[in-house]
Amino acid sequence: MIELTEIDVNLLVVFDLLHQEKNTQRAAARLGVTQPAVSHALKRLRVLMNDELFERTSEGLMPTPLAMRLHSPVAECLTQLQETLNRPDDFDPAVTDRTFNIVMTDIGEIFFLPRLLKRLAEEAPGISLSTVRSHNVNLKQDMERGKIDLAIGLIPQLNAGFYQQRLFVQRYVCLMRKDHPLSTSDFDLDDFKSAKHAVVVAKGTGHGIVEEQLAKAGIVRPVRLKLPHFTAVPYIVSDSDLVVTVTDKLALATLDRFELIMHEHPVPFPEIPINMFWHRRFKQDAGNRWIRSLIFEMFSE
Protein backbone atom coordinates (compact mmCIF):
# COMPACT_ATOMS: atom_id res chain seq x y z
CA MET A 1 0.00 0.00 0.00
CA ILE A 2 1.36 3.43 -0.93
CA GLU A 3 1.24 5.95 1.94
CA LEU A 4 0.66 9.64 1.26
CA THR A 5 3.90 10.40 3.09
CA GLU A 6 5.74 8.62 0.26
CA ILE A 7 4.28 10.85 -2.44
CA ASP A 8 5.64 14.17 -3.64
CA VAL A 9 2.69 16.14 -5.08
CA ASN A 10 5.02 17.45 -7.80
CA LEU A 11 5.31 13.88 -9.12
CA LEU A 12 1.54 13.79 -9.63
CA VAL A 13 1.71 17.12 -11.49
CA VAL A 14 4.39 15.62 -13.79
CA PHE A 15 2.22 12.54 -14.26
CA ASP A 16 -0.76 14.68 -15.28
CA LEU A 17 1.26 16.74 -17.77
CA LEU A 18 2.92 13.69 -19.31
CA HIS A 19 -0.50 12.19 -19.84
CA GLN A 20 -1.61 15.41 -21.56
CA GLU A 21 1.51 16.13 -23.61
CA LYS A 22 2.85 12.60 -24.26
CA ASN A 23 6.28 14.20 -24.46
CA THR A 24 8.86 14.94 -21.74
CA GLN A 25 10.19 18.08 -23.44
CA ARG A 26 6.77 19.72 -23.76
CA ALA A 27 5.91 18.72 -20.18
CA ALA A 28 9.21 20.25 -19.01
CA ALA A 29 8.43 23.50 -20.88
CA ARG A 30 5.04 23.83 -19.18
CA LEU A 31 6.61 23.17 -15.79
CA GLY A 32 9.52 25.53 -16.39
CA VAL A 33 12.10 22.82 -15.65
CA THR A 34 14.62 20.83 -17.70
CA GLN A 35 13.76 17.68 -19.63
CA PRO A 36 16.11 15.57 -17.43
CA ALA A 37 14.20 16.77 -14.38
CA VAL A 38 10.95 15.44 -15.88
CA SER A 39 12.65 12.16 -16.83
CA HIS A 40 13.95 11.82 -13.28
CA ALA A 41 10.45 12.46 -11.90
CA LEU A 42 9.03 9.81 -14.21
CA LYS A 43 11.67 7.35 -12.99
CA ARG A 44 10.63 8.00 -9.38
CA LEU A 45 6.98 7.48 -10.31
CA ARG A 46 7.76 4.17 -11.99
CA VAL A 47 9.51 2.94 -8.86
CA LEU A 48 6.70 4.14 -6.63
CA MET A 49 3.94 2.57 -8.74
CA ASN A 50 5.92 -0.47 -9.85
CA ASP A 51 4.77 0.18 -13.40
CA GLU A 52 6.28 1.83 -16.49
CA LEU A 53 3.27 4.21 -16.64
CA PHE A 54 4.30 5.57 -20.08
CA GLU A 55 5.85 3.72 -23.04
CA ARG A 56 7.48 5.27 -26.10
CA THR A 57 5.51 4.73 -29.31
CA SER A 58 5.41 6.32 -32.75
CA GLU A 59 2.77 8.71 -31.35
CA GLY A 60 4.88 9.70 -28.34
CA LEU A 61 4.66 8.55 -24.72
CA MET A 62 1.51 6.53 -24.30
CA PRO A 63 0.02 5.63 -20.91
CA THR A 64 -0.06 2.04 -19.73
CA PRO A 65 -3.40 0.57 -18.63
CA LEU A 66 -2.57 1.48 -15.00
CA ALA A 67 -1.74 5.08 -15.96
CA MET A 68 -5.01 5.34 -17.89
CA ARG A 69 -6.98 4.21 -14.83
CA LEU A 70 -5.10 6.56 -12.52
CA HIS A 71 -5.15 9.71 -14.61
CA SER A 72 -8.76 10.83 -14.24
CA PRO A 73 -8.95 10.64 -10.41
CA VAL A 74 -5.41 12.08 -10.04
CA ALA A 75 -6.26 15.03 -12.34
CA GLU A 76 -9.50 15.66 -10.44
CA CYS A 77 -7.69 15.63 -7.09
CA LEU A 78 -5.06 18.06 -8.36
CA THR A 79 -7.76 20.42 -9.59
CA GLN A 80 -9.58 20.28 -6.25
CA LEU A 81 -6.33 20.84 -4.37
CA GLN A 82 -5.46 23.88 -6.48
CA GLU A 83 -8.94 25.36 -6.08
CA THR A 84 -8.80 24.78 -2.33
CA LEU A 85 -5.41 26.45 -1.96
CA ASN A 86 -6.46 29.38 -4.15
CA ARG A 87 -9.96 29.73 -2.77
CA PRO A 88 -11.62 33.11 -3.25
CA ASP A 89 -12.98 35.02 -0.27
CA ASP A 90 -16.26 33.21 0.23
CA PHE A 91 -17.56 35.63 2.86
CA ASP A 92 -20.34 37.87 1.62
CA PRO A 93 -21.75 40.02 4.46
CA ALA A 94 -24.94 40.66 2.51
CA VAL A 95 -25.96 36.98 2.49
CA THR A 96 -24.04 35.25 5.29
CA ASP A 97 -25.83 34.01 8.41
CA ARG A 98 -22.63 33.83 10.46
CA THR A 99 -22.64 34.54 14.20
CA PHE A 100 -19.74 36.56 15.60
CA ASN A 101 -18.82 35.99 19.24
CA ILE A 102 -17.28 39.11 20.76
CA VAL A 103 -15.87 39.67 24.23
CA MET A 104 -16.91 43.00 25.72
CA THR A 105 -18.03 44.47 29.03
CA ASP A 106 -21.52 45.69 29.82
CA ILE A 107 -20.26 49.22 29.08
CA GLY A 108 -19.16 47.90 25.70
CA GLU A 109 -22.62 46.47 25.09
CA ILE A 110 -24.23 49.83 25.87
CA PHE A 111 -21.77 51.81 23.75
CA PHE A 112 -21.11 49.51 20.78
CA LEU A 113 -24.16 47.37 20.22
CA PRO A 114 -26.94 49.87 19.35
CA ARG A 115 -24.92 51.48 16.54
CA LEU A 116 -23.34 48.23 15.41
CA LEU A 117 -26.65 46.35 15.22
CA LYS A 118 -28.20 49.19 13.25
CA ARG A 119 -25.34 49.08 10.74
CA LEU A 120 -25.54 45.29 10.45
CA ALA A 121 -29.29 45.48 9.80
CA GLU A 122 -28.53 47.70 6.82
CA GLU A 123 -25.52 45.90 5.36
CA ALA A 124 -25.53 42.36 6.72
CA PRO A 125 -29.03 41.44 7.92
CA GLY A 126 -28.21 37.75 8.38
CA ILE A 127 -25.33 38.31 10.79
CA SER A 128 -25.88 37.69 14.49
CA LEU A 129 -23.78 38.80 17.46
CA SER A 130 -23.15 37.07 20.76
CA THR A 131 -21.31 38.84 23.58
CA VAL A 132 -19.06 37.15 26.12
CA ARG A 133 -17.43 38.41 29.33
CA SER A 134 -13.64 38.68 29.39
CA HIS A 135 -13.19 37.17 32.87
CA ASN A 136 -13.71 33.77 31.24
CA VAL A 137 -10.66 31.79 32.40
CA ASN A 138 -10.52 30.06 29.01
CA LEU A 139 -10.48 33.29 26.99
CA LYS A 140 -7.11 32.68 25.32
CA GLN A 141 -7.97 29.08 24.51
CA ASP A 142 -11.42 29.96 23.20
CA MET A 143 -9.95 32.60 20.89
CA GLU A 144 -7.25 30.19 19.70
CA ARG A 145 -9.95 27.66 18.84
CA GLY A 146 -12.16 30.22 17.10
CA LYS A 147 -14.97 29.98 19.64
CA ILE A 148 -14.53 33.73 20.19
CA ASP A 149 -13.85 35.95 17.19
CA LEU A 150 -12.87 39.25 18.80
CA ALA A 151 -12.27 40.79 22.20
CA ILE A 152 -12.76 44.50 22.86
CA GLY A 153 -11.57 46.32 25.95
CA LEU A 154 -8.62 46.57 28.33
CA ILE A 155 -7.43 42.96 28.28
CA PRO A 156 -3.72 42.83 29.13
CA GLN A 157 -3.62 39.02 29.28
CA LEU A 158 -4.02 38.83 25.51
CA ASN A 159 -0.43 39.26 24.37
CA ALA A 160 1.59 36.52 22.68
CA GLY A 161 -0.25 35.09 19.68
CA PHE A 162 -2.73 37.96 19.44
CA TYR A 163 -3.00 41.05 17.29
CA GLN A 164 -4.50 44.24 18.67
CA GLN A 165 -5.71 47.55 17.27
CA ARG A 166 -6.44 50.70 19.25
CA LEU A 167 -10.00 52.01 18.99
CA PHE A 168 -9.95 54.87 21.49
CA VAL A 169 -9.07 55.83 25.04
CA GLN A 170 -11.58 56.32 27.84
CA ARG A 171 -11.42 58.70 30.75
CA TYR A 172 -13.38 58.69 33.99
CA VAL A 173 -16.11 61.20 34.83
CA CYS A 174 -18.74 61.61 37.52
CA LEU A 175 -22.36 60.96 36.61
CA MET A 176 -25.47 62.24 38.41
CA ARG A 177 -29.06 63.26 37.72
CA LYS A 178 -29.71 66.71 36.23
CA ASP A 179 -31.43 68.10 39.31
CA HIS A 180 -28.90 66.64 41.78
CA PRO A 181 -28.03 69.12 44.59
CA LEU A 182 -24.46 69.22 43.25
CA SER A 183 -25.35 69.38 39.57
CA THR A 184 -24.70 73.12 39.28
CA SER A 185 -21.55 73.17 41.39
CA ASP A 186 -18.01 73.02 40.06
CA PHE A 187 -17.89 69.56 41.61
CA ASP A 188 -14.46 69.80 43.12
CA LEU A 189 -12.76 67.31 45.39
CA ASP A 190 -14.70 68.48 48.46
CA ASP A 191 -17.98 67.95 46.59
CA PHE A 192 -16.80 64.51 45.57
CA LYS A 193 -15.96 63.55 49.14
CA SER A 194 -19.27 64.79 50.52
CA ALA A 195 -21.54 63.21 47.87
CA LYS A 196 -23.17 59.84 48.40
CA HIS A 197 -21.79 57.32 45.95
CA ALA A 198 -22.62 54.19 44.05
CA VAL A 199 -19.58 52.06 43.28
CA VAL A 200 -19.27 49.49 40.53
CA VAL A 201 -17.02 46.56 41.35
CA ALA A 202 -16.63 45.01 37.90
CA LYS A 203 -14.46 41.94 38.44
CA GLY A 204 -12.27 40.88 35.55
CA THR A 205 -12.13 44.39 34.03
CA GLY A 206 -9.71 47.30 34.28
CA HIS A 207 -12.18 49.42 36.26
CA GLY A 208 -10.70 48.34 39.59
CA ILE A 209 -8.18 51.09 38.99
CA VAL A 210 -10.71 53.64 40.29
CA GLU A 211 -10.85 52.24 43.80
CA GLU A 212 -7.11 51.56 43.78
CA GLN A 213 -6.28 55.17 42.88
CA LEU A 214 -8.72 56.60 45.43
CA ALA A 215 -7.31 54.38 48.17
CA LYS A 216 -3.74 55.30 47.20
CA ALA A 217 -4.64 59.00 47.39
CA GLY A 218 -6.33 58.49 50.78
CA ILE A 219 -9.67 59.76 49.47
CA VAL A 220 -12.67 58.52 51.43
CA ARG A 221 -16.30 59.13 50.45
CA PRO A 222 -19.63 57.69 51.67
CA VAL A 223 -20.60 54.65 49.60
CA ARG A 224 -24.28 53.78 49.75
CA LEU A 225 -24.44 51.14 46.99
CA LYS A 226 -22.11 48.62 45.41
CA LEU A 227 -22.92 46.98 42.08
CA PRO A 228 -21.24 44.15 40.15
CA HIS A 229 -21.84 45.78 36.75
CA PHE A 230 -22.64 49.08 35.04
CA THR A 231 -25.89 48.22 33.31
CA ALA A 232 -28.17 49.36 36.14
CA VAL A 233 -26.20 52.55 36.88
CA PRO A 234 -28.20 55.00 34.70
CA TYR A 235 -31.51 53.74 36.09
CA ILE A 236 -30.39 54.08 39.70
CA VAL A 237 -28.55 57.40 39.40
CA SER A 238 -31.43 59.02 37.49
CA ASP A 239 -33.78 58.39 40.42
CA SER A 240 -31.51 59.04 43.41
CA ASP A 241 -28.91 61.43 44.82
CA LEU A 242 -26.10 58.97 44.22
CA VAL A 243 -23.02 59.94 42.24
CA VAL A 244 -21.06 57.31 40.33
CA THR A 245 -17.66 57.22 38.66
CA VAL A 246 -17.99 55.85 35.13
CA THR A 247 -16.25 56.09 31.78
CA ASP A 248 -17.08 58.98 29.51
CA LYS A 249 -18.41 56.56 26.87
CA LEU A 250 -21.05 55.22 29.23
CA ALA A 251 -21.94 58.73 30.35
CA LEU A 252 -22.32 60.07 26.81
CA ALA A 253 -24.43 57.07 25.80
CA THR A 254 -26.92 57.59 28.64
CA LEU A 255 -27.05 61.35 29.36
CA ASP A 256 -30.04 62.30 27.24
CA ARG A 257 -32.12 59.17 27.68
CA PHE A 258 -31.90 59.24 31.50
CA GLU A 259 -31.66 63.02 31.99
CA LEU A 260 -28.21 62.88 33.54
CA ILE A 261 -25.23 65.19 33.58
CA MET A 262 -21.54 64.45 33.86
CA HIS A 263 -18.78 66.40 35.55
CA GLU A 264 -15.08 66.18 34.96
CA HIS A 265 -13.65 63.96 37.67
CA PRO A 266 -11.83 65.89 40.41
CA VAL A 267 -9.39 63.00 40.83
CA PRO A 268 -6.90 62.41 37.99
CA PHE A 269 -7.09 58.86 36.64
CA PRO A 270 -4.99 57.40 33.84
CA GLU A 271 -6.84 57.06 30.56
CA ILE A 272 -8.01 53.56 29.67
CA PRO A 273 -6.96 52.25 26.25
CA ILE A 274 -9.70 50.27 24.52
CA ASN A 275 -8.28 47.85 21.98
CA MET A 276 -9.68 45.22 19.65
CA PHE A 277 -7.96 41.82 19.85
CA TRP A 278 -7.96 38.77 17.57
CA HIS A 279 -5.90 35.60 17.41
CA ARG A 280 -3.27 35.30 14.71
CA ARG A 281 -4.90 32.11 13.39
CA PHE A 282 -7.79 34.21 12.10
CA LYS A 283 -5.85 37.19 10.78
CA GLN A 284 -6.69 36.28 7.16
CA ASP A 285 -10.19 34.89 7.78
CA ALA A 286 -12.45 36.90 5.47
CA GLY A 287 -15.31 37.22 7.96
CA ASN A 288 -13.04 38.16 10.83
CA ARG A 289 -11.32 40.79 8.67
CA TRP A 290 -14.69 42.22 7.64
CA ILE A 291 -16.11 42.62 11.15
CA ARG A 292 -12.80 44.05 12.41
CA SER A 293 -12.76 46.58 9.59
CA LEU A 294 -16.36 47.58 10.27
CA ILE A 295 -15.83 48.07 14.01
CA PHE A 296 -12.65 50.05 13.42
CA GLU A 297 -14.37 52.26 10.83
CA MET A 298 -17.31 52.97 13.16
CA PHE A 299 -15.58 53.44 16.51
CA SER A 300 -11.93 54.35 16.12
CA GLU A 301 -10.92 57.85 17.23
Identify whether the C-beta of residue 221 lies closer than 8 Å to the C-beta of residue 192.
yes
B/e letters for 248-278, b = 16+ CB within 10 Å, e = fewer, are bbbbebbeeebebbbbebeeebeebebbbbb
Q: What is the CATH number of domain 172-270?
A: 3.40.190.10
Note the pLDDT tens digit of each residue in 196-252: 999 988 765 667 778 888 888 889 999 999 998 888 999 999 999 999 999 999 999
State in Å, rounded, how far the first CA of the chain is from the last one. Answer: 61
**Residue 286 neighbours by CB under 8 Å, 6+ apart:** 89, 90, 91
Domain 4-85 identical in fold to domain 172-270: no
Cα–Cα distance, 109 to 117 (Å, whole number): 11
Identify whether the C-beta of residue 230 lies closer than 8 Å to the C-beta of residue 200.
yes
With cut-offs at 50, 70 and 90, classify the pLDDT of residue 135.
low
Name the E strands within 205-283.
223-227, 243-247, 260-264, 272-279
Identify whether the C-beta of residue 141 lies closer than 8 Å to the C-beta of residue 132.
no
Helix pair angle (9-21, 35-49), 10° resolution: 110
**Residue 170 neighbours by CB under 8 Å, 6+ apart:** 247, 248, 249, 271, 272, 274
CB atoms under 10 Å from CB of 119, counted, come to 14
Assign domain 99-169+274-299 to its CATH superfamily.
Periplasmic binding protein-like II (3.40.190.10)
Strand partners, 170: 272
Note the pLDDT tens digit of each residue in 163-206: 999 999 999 999 999 999 998 889 999 999 999 999 988 765 66
Examine the pLDDT at 149 and tell me if it is beyond 60. yes
Q: Residue 203 has what pLDDT?
A: 65
For 113, phi then psi, to 5°, come to: -65, -45
Q: What is the dihedral of CA 103, 108, 113, 116, to 10 degrees?
A: -80
With cut-offs at 50, 70 and 90, classify the pLDDT of residue 105.
confident
Identify whether the C-beta of residue 183 lies closer than 8 Å to the C-beta of residue 261.
yes
With cut-offs at 50, 70 and 90, classify the pLDDT of residue 89.
low
- Sequence ranges of the domains in the chain: 4-85, 99-169+274-299, 172-270
Cα–Cα distance, 213 to 89 (Å, whole number): 48
**Amino acid at the residue 65:** P
Q: What is the CATH number of domain 4-85?
A: 1.10.10.10
Rg (CA), the chain: 32
Considering only residues 266 and 161, tell me which one the structure prediction assigns the higher pLDDT.
Answer: 266
Alpha-carbon torsion 42, 46, 49, 53, what sign?
positive
**Residue 237 neighbours by CB under 8 Å, 6+ apart:** 175, 176, 177, 198, 243, 244, 258, 260
Q: Is 19 helix (H, G, I), strand (E, B) or coil?
A: helix
Note the pLDDT tens digit of each residue in 41-68: 889 989 888 999 889 888 888 999 999 9
Q: Residue 216 has what pLDDT?
A: 87
Element (H, E) at 40: helix 35-49
Examine the pLDDT at 152 and tell me if it is beyond 70. yes
Comparing CA positions, the residue from 137, 238, 228, 119 lying closest to residue 178 is: 238
Q: What is the dihedral of CA 234, 235, 240, 246, to 10 degrees?
A: -20
DSSP letter (8 states) at residue 228: S
